[in-house]
Structure 1
Amino acid sequence: MMPWGHLAFGYVLYSLGHRFVTRKPPAGFGVVLAIVVGTQLPDVVDKTLSWGLHLFPQGYSIAHSILVAVPVGLLILGVTAFRSRDIGIAFVLAYWSHLVGDAMLAVPKRGVSPGDRLLWPIVTLPPYRGEPTLFGQIERIFSTFFNEMLTTEHFLFLAIYTVPYLLVFSLWVIDGSPGIAFLWRKENHK
């Protein structure tokens, strides 16, 4: 899943869950920041350790492991329970949604179990072909995505691909644009 896919998935889960529990849209810059950080953290940690520092053969290791994510999430929920509960819940839900998203995307791949990406160090994925570098891999991901999506034969796929993001954006606007609205109000009160 691309970074923006993880962000969209995490935001939708948090927004709909928050609305279900409180009957109100999510609010506050801290909650939105927690969702952004939580949804990106596993890739930032593991891809850096793999592609940048070459400590692991794959970009699915420590931060993608449920053996690490569950205790870390529970610790964060405990620490934030009294002072910033919504931020803690947003972060943990976003972090765990990243893992669920990666597991779901492994389902259609042959020879890959959804748990393979989530069970480090019990399961270690085979190394990448070649010697990936951090910036080389980032460039490859984005250039491949945009080069393939901008061809005529992929135009329909691109249109279908953008619909969920437009729906997430619409949900964010309906929620009152949390994060941006907070910054806007703060700027107008100066």
Structure 2
Amino acid sequence: MPWGHAAFGYLLYSLGHRLVTRESPNGPLVVLALLFGTQLPDLVDKTLSWGLHLFPQGYSVAHSVLVAVPVGLLVLGATASGRRDIGIAFTVGYWSHLLGDAILAVPKRGVSPSDRLLWPVVTLPPYQSEVTLIGRVNRVISAFFGEVLTTEQLVFLALYSIPYLLVFALWLVDGAPGVAHFLRADDS
């Protein structure tokens, strides 16, 4: 889910930034670059698959390490002389998305974590049924709300929410980078 990629990317970036600089992340452009990087693979590949039907799966071009590594290095190189922090944030976000997808594939039977990351060397089989962007979003939303109403699912949702709440707390400890900048601008 988009929020999972955003939270995982922010966690890695914030902890890495603190480790290197001993400061919390700062700046709205850095946070936007990080957020954009965490969503880019799905924005590209899900659109190409679900929307345009150019690929049989939502894991292709932008999820491939054969594309992501050169793109990340290109962005790092392009921002090296100016806003290096923006390039690092974008690249951490982008690469964390791939790492997150690989980690999520580990417990699945018959799926190698690298399968999603090696396009065009590995091409995943088509979905079992025709997938459209609107249909997929409707299915996810209806499944989510349909299952959340049971007691067991509410307990699961509470446990599922804990990592997100911890990342949210980290974001607050970091000074709410991105949002805090805009709030300070309104006070001026």
TM range (shorter): over 0.9
Mapped partners of 2:51, 2:80: distance in 1: 35
Displacement of 1:150: 2.9
Displacement of 1:81: 0.7
More off after superposition, 180-189 vs 7-16: 180-189
Aligned equivalent of 2:146? 147
Structure 2 gaps of 5+ residues are: none
% identical aligned pairs: 70
Aligned equivalent of 1:35? 34
Aligned equivalent of 2:112? 113
Displacement of 1:131: 1.2
What is the SS of the residue equivalent to 1:114? coil
TM-score (normalised: structure 2): 0.98
Matched, 1:136 2:135: yes
Q: Deviations over 1:53-100 (max 9, x none)?
A: 000000000000000000000000000011111110000000000000
Mapped partners of 2:149, 2:30: distance in 1: 34
Structure 1 gaps of 5+ residues are: none
Aligned equivalent of 1:14? 13
Mapped partners of 2:12, 2:176: distance in 1: 16
Aligned equivalent of 1:62? 61
Q: How does 1:33-112 map to 2 (within 5 A)?
A: 33-112=32-111
Counterpart residue identity of residue 165, structure 1: Y
Displacement of 1:133: 0.7
Mapped partners of 2:47, 2:61: distance in 1: 11
Q: CA RMSD in A?
A: 0.8
What is the SS of the residue equivalent to 2:140? helix
Displacement of 1:143: 2.1
Cα–Cα, structure 1 residues 31 and 150, in superposed 2: closer, same or farther, change >3 Å? farther
Displacement of 1:44: 0.6
What is the SS of the residue equivalent to 2:114? helix
Aligned equivalent of 2:165? 166
Aligned equivalent of 1:3? 2
Mapped partners of 1:146, 1:69: distance in 2: 34
Mapped partners of 1:36, 1:181: distance in 2: 16
More off after superposition, 145-154 vs 10-19: 145-154
